[in-house]
Amino acid sequence: MDFWTFISNAIVNIGQWIETLLTNAGLSEPLVRLIMAAVGAVVVGFVPMLIVIFLIWMYRKVSARIGGRLGPNSSGTWAGPGGIVQPFADVIKMFTKEDIRPQGIDVVPYNLAPILVVVAAVMVWAVIPWGRDLVGAELNIGIFYVLAFSSAALIAFLMAGWSSDNKYSIISASRAVAQLLGYEIPQLLAVLSVVVVVGSLSMQDIVGAQEVIFLLALPLPALIFFLASMGEINARPFELLECESELVAGYQTEYSGMKFGMFYVGEFMGAIAVAALFSTVFLGGWRGPWVDQFPLLGTLWFLLKILFMLLVWAFIQMTIPRLRIDQMLAFNWKFLVPLALVTLCVVALVNWGVTAVWGLDAPTWARAGALLASNVVIFLATWAILAARERRHRPFRPRVRVAKEVGA
């Protein structure tokens, strides 16, 4: 066994090593389980926090490059290499700022809302597989668990908006109901297309079934999931819950200090969770070259895929304008939801046909090719329907002939 294989196995099996160490120290089995659960909870909560700090730094760097603006590393003050220390300074500032609470608020939901946002964002990571054996809790309903906890942010937004006793916050909370509930439907239907093909709700089973990544075999559900997730995490062009030009700061207008920071962190953690979920469901998760020889590379591949999705998210955030609320809801209910329903039905029929012809052990290329062909057909049919609709509603413009002047 070479050095890198030893290191990889040590990191992958570190949980088992700690458990054995505690058992050999003479601790009882219930106490060992409690300690291991506590350690796992700390790791699951701490790692996303570190990624959030990096994401905030990356988001600022990308937005500054696109907007041609100067950052903290160019302002004459020391903020670390490339301004990397600035997010840590922001964390300290959030913890030390004064907590101002306006009169007339409902104290209990007002204080619980920011906590619920962070808790919901952290709980999602409990079932995200970081490697072949690196997962907080292997549940046979893992994908259902993720989608259920991702909806908890809706309750937090309602609590924050209603308890603030502010008309702008209440309007933003009402938008949250319309936007988040609406975009959860195509997101769920896109995930069901993958579940139908895999035959399991387990996250590890979904990763293991991707001999061909589902981004290639199921590009249409991947696109639907990505667009719905942009609306789910309140990212442009669907950033309507806290649009400053209309609602001051949306549902978090009356929050300051650490409570505002929790909403801020929860939003970025939601973006990371969506990137991790997309990477797991459509990009093969931890799968990649040389993972069988070096298990630690699986975690590296997974992090690189998350980074790629976050870069895509940041570029879209900085380059696409915001939609109106009616345009956003019409796009969801009149386009995404019907398209997701049709795609789910077609994918289920095609997958059933492949299984009927080749059996459960159908060749990977046959199943992937059939699913890709069905997605292409749906895309072309949708394109044709939209083109015909545009021609039908195009205003009539009569041609006018312009007579040429002929000189005398």
Average pLDDT over residues 73-83: 63
Q: Quick one: DSSP state of residue 27?
A: -
Residues of the chain with pLDDT > 70: what percent? 83
Q: Is 207 exposed, middle or buried (0-12, 13-18, 19+ CB in 10 A)?
A: buried
Average pLDDT over residues 288-302: 78
Q: Identify the pLDDT of residue 4.
A: 47
Q: Identify the pLDDT of residue 83.
A: 74
pLDDT above 60 (res 407): no
Average pLDDT over residues 92-103: 77
347 vs 196: CA distance, rounded Å: 8
Confidence of residue 90 (pLDDT cuts 50, 70, 90): confident
Q: Quick one: DSSP state of residue 403?
A: P
Q: Identify the pLDDT of residue 398.
A: 61
**Burial 83-103, CB ≥16 within 10 A → b, else e:** bbebbeeebeebeeeeeeeee
130 vs 302: CA distance, rounded Å: 7
309 vs 306: CA distance, rounded Å: 5
pTM greater than 0.85 = no
Tokens of 290: 């040389």
346 vs 378: CA distance, rounded Å: 8
pLDDT above 60 (res 287): yes
pLDDT above 70 (res 10): no
Q: Identify the pLDDT of residue 213.
A: 86
Q: Identify the pLDDT of residue 408.
A: 47
Q: Is 321 exposed, middle or buried (0-12, 13-18, 19+ CB in 10 A)?
A: exposed
pLDDT above 80 (res 278): yes
279, 24 contact by CB (below 8 A): no
Q: Identify the pLDDT of residue 341.
A: 92
Which of these, 111, 88, 94, lies nearest to 258 by C-alpha position? Answer: 94
296, 287 contact by CB (below 8 A): no
pLDDT above 70 (res 365): yes
3-class state of residue 105 by DSSP? coil
Cβ contacts of residue 45 below 8 Å, gap of 6+? 122, 125
Report long-range pairs for 310-313 (Cβ below 8 Å, ≥24 apart).
310/55, 310/58, 310/271, 310/272, 310/275, 311/58, 311/62, 313/230, 313/235, 313/271, 313/274, 313/275
Q: Identify the pLDDT of residue 15.
A: 62
Tokens of 348: 């289920």
Average pLDDT over residues 336-359: 87
214 vs 368: CA distance, rounded Å: 8
User: Which amino acid belongs to residue 232?
Assistant: E
Tokens of 374: 């069905």
Tens digits of per-residue pLDDT, 301-333? 888 888 888 888 878 877 777 777 778 888 888
Q: In 10 A of CB 323, how many CB atoms?
A: 17
248, 278 contact by CB (below 8 A): no
Tell me which of 68 and 128 has the higher pLDDT. Answer: 128
Q: Is 355 exposed, middle or buried (0-12, 13-18, 19+ CB in 10 A)?
A: middle
Tens digits of per-residue pLDDT, 108-124? 888 888 888 888 877 88
* Strands annotated E in 69-137: none
Which of these, 159, 154, 153, 149, lies nearest to 108 by C-alpha position? Answer: 159
Q: Identify the pLDDT of residue 100.
A: 77
Tens digits of per-residue pLDDT, 33-58? 777 666 666 666 677 777 777 878 87
Tens digits of per-residue pLDDT, 197-253? 888 888 888 888 888 888 888 899 999 998 888 877 777 777 766 555 565 667 777
Report long-range pairs for 66-72 (Cβ below 8 Å, ≥24 apart).
66/315, 66/318, 66/319, 67/318
277, 128 contact by CB (below 8 A): yes
- 59-73, 84-98, 168-182, 208-222: range with highest mean pLDDT: 208-222
DSSP characters over 314-341: HHHHHHSPPPPHHHHHHHIIIIIHHHHH
pLDDT above 60 (res 155): yes
Residues of the chain with pLDDT > 90: what percent? 5
Q: Is 74 exposed, middle or buried (0-12, 13-18, 19+ CB in 10 A)?
A: exposed
Q: What is the mean pLDDT of the chain?
A: 78
Average pLDDT over residues 289-297: 75
Which of these, 363, 360, 194, 352, lies nearest to 285 by C-alpha position? Answer: 194
Average pLDDT over residues 255-276: 81
User: Which amino acid belongs to residue 117?
Assistant: V
Q: Identify the pLDDT of residue 307.
A: 86
Q: In 10 A of CB 377, how many CB atoms?
A: 13
Q: Identify the pLDDT of residue 242.
A: 59
233 vs 121: CA distance, rounded Å: 11
Which of these, 193, 194, 198, lies nearest to 208 by C-alpha position? Answer: 198
